[in-house]
Amino acid sequence: MTLRAGREFLAIPGPTTVPDEVLRAMHRPAVDIYDGPLLALTDSLHRDVARVFGTKGRAYIYIANGHGAWEASLTNVLSKGDKILVLESGRFAVGWGENARRMGVDVEILPGDLRRAVRPEEVEARLKADTGRTIKAILVTQIDTASGVVNDIPAIGEARRAAGHDALLMVDAVASLGCMPFEMDAWGVDIAMAGSQKGLMMPPGLGFVAANERARAVHKTAGLRTPYWDWTERESDLHYLKYAGTPPEHMLFGLRQALDMLFEEGMDNAFRRHRLLAEATRRAIEIWSEGQALGFNIVAPHERSNTVSVVLTPGCDPDALRAWCRENCGVVLGQGIGALSGKAFRVAHMGHVNAPMLLGTIGVIEMALGAMGVPHGTGGVGDAIAWLGKQVGTV
């Protein structure tokens, strides 16, 4: 006998829950791609994607996942043999850099640690040491979903400024856009990229890149440009060329709905919702950790992200725990990935998530810990509920 009937809840850090309103917006016939309302839709989406990134620069919408948007950002500003600096803090910046390496870019990794954020002072020191100004770009993630870390992007932008270096600052915001502040222009970010399937509440399939004037100037002489990703091609007035071919119409209908929902909630409120649900999760994890069988991957509390919590499991089998939650209760937790494979589980609190979804998820984890006999401090979920209640207050 299990308790899994009803809607399965996907608590993995992407793809995330797609709102019914978004699914409905996509459920309609195709339309003309050369004329009519689709043209205005494209304009509104380019404008609003740029708004979400916090830039007056341009946004580009690709039929791609995050890896595609990585490639789009690299090909548009780099040339073979260029040197870039990758700031390690988990898996994803390094993965992005690895793609650059395979394209013929000279990649240096500023070594980090899976359990902490990038240190801006180390970035500043490395850039200052680059007296010949050979580093053309810096790659970093805002939130790394493998480690659960959040990097301080404004401080990294400030480090570059303090070093007087002109390398392009390129940020992976796949796991953070729409969930926490991202102010591309104010923070000195030149290029940012994201995908549709995480904080933006869409199915996988759209990749986004935003670029400021500086990046677009570098673009003019980039040697790695290819027809599909090319910004210049996509800046054409011809609608067809804005997507380098047939527009992903249904994804665009869905994206319009998802962005409308985000704006209707208010981005600040969405950020606050993520912060509160993340903090409630962390309160439960903190108490469970008293049993010494599990604990946070990210050591410093202020470096733990508001979209995913990565839990190390030295005293239990994380995959057995995940299987218990899925099979008995219909909650799908994320597995540890990369170096944390088999050593951690991940709880996403990202995108279209509210209190019952989150409390249900951590309630099921606490059930599993009890049922499986994993030593843990008791009352974690109760503490999360009490804390959350105080934050939300009375209506």
Ligand X SMILES: *Cc1c(COP(=O)(O)O)cnc(C)c1O
Contacting positions for ligand X (CB under 6 A): 14, 65-67, 92, 141, 144-145, 172, 174-175, 195, 204
Could you give the CA distance from residue 31 to residue 204 in angstroms, rounded to a whole number?
Answer: 21
- Least CB distance from residue 182 to ligand X, whole Å? 13
Task: Report in angstroms how near the CB of residue 228 gets to ligand X at its nearest.
Answer: 16
Q: Smaller CB distance to ligand X: residue 144 or 303?
A: 144
- The least distance separating ligand X from the CB of residue 199, rounded to whole angstroms, comes to 10
CB of 194 to ligand X, least distance (A): 8
Nearer to ligand X, 174 or 252 (CB): 174
Place of tokens 């939650």: 325
281: phi then psi, degrees, rounded to nearest 5:
-60, -45
Please, are residues 100 and 77 in contact by the beta-carbon 8 Å criterion? no
- Shortest spacing between CB 174 and ligand X, in angstroms: 4
Q: Give me the least distance between CB of 369 and ligand X, in Å please.
A: 26
Distance separating the N- and C-terminal Cα atoms of the chain: 39
Using Cβ positions, the residue closest to ligand X within the complex turns out to be 66
| 350 and 15 Cβ atoms separated by less than 8 Å | no
Beta bridge partners of 295: 312
Say which residues have a Cβ less than 8 Å from residue 358's Cβ, sequence separation at least 6. Answer: 277, 280, 281, 349
Separation between Cα atoms, residue 222 and residue 143, nearest integer Å: 28
CB nearer to ligand X: give 153 or 175: 175
CB 293 within 8 A of CB 376: yes
Task: Say if CB 361 and CB 331 are below 8 A apart.
Answer: yes
* Minimum distance from residue 221 beta carbon to ligand X (Å): 27
Q: How far is the CB of 67 from ligand X (least distance, A)?
A: 4
Where does 326-395 show beta strands of DSSP type E?
331-335, 344-348
Compare residues 92 and 296 and give the one whose CB is closer to ligand X.
92
User: Starting from the edge strand earliest in sequence, which strands make up the sheet with 295-296, in order?
Assistant: 9-11, 331-335, 344-348, 308-312, 295-296
> Do the Cβ atoms of 286 and 334 come closer than 8 Å?
no
Measured from the CB atom, the residue of 330 and 351 that comes closer to ligand X is: 351
Closer CB to ligand X, 190 or 366, in the complex: 190
User: In terms of Cα–Cα distance, which of 68, 74, 159 is closest to 117?
Assistant: 159
Q: Nearer to ligand X by C-beta: 90 or 330?
A: 90
Q: Smaller CB distance to ligand X: residue 57 or 66?
A: 66
* CB-nearer residue toward ligand X: 157 or 351: 351
Cβ atoms of residues 353 and 19 within 8 Å: no
For the bound state, the minimum distance from the C-beta of residue 166 to ligand X, rounded and expressed in Å, comes to 25
Contact residues for 151 (Cβ-Cβ < 8 A; gap 6+): 87, 89, 117, 118, 140, 141, 142, 143, 144
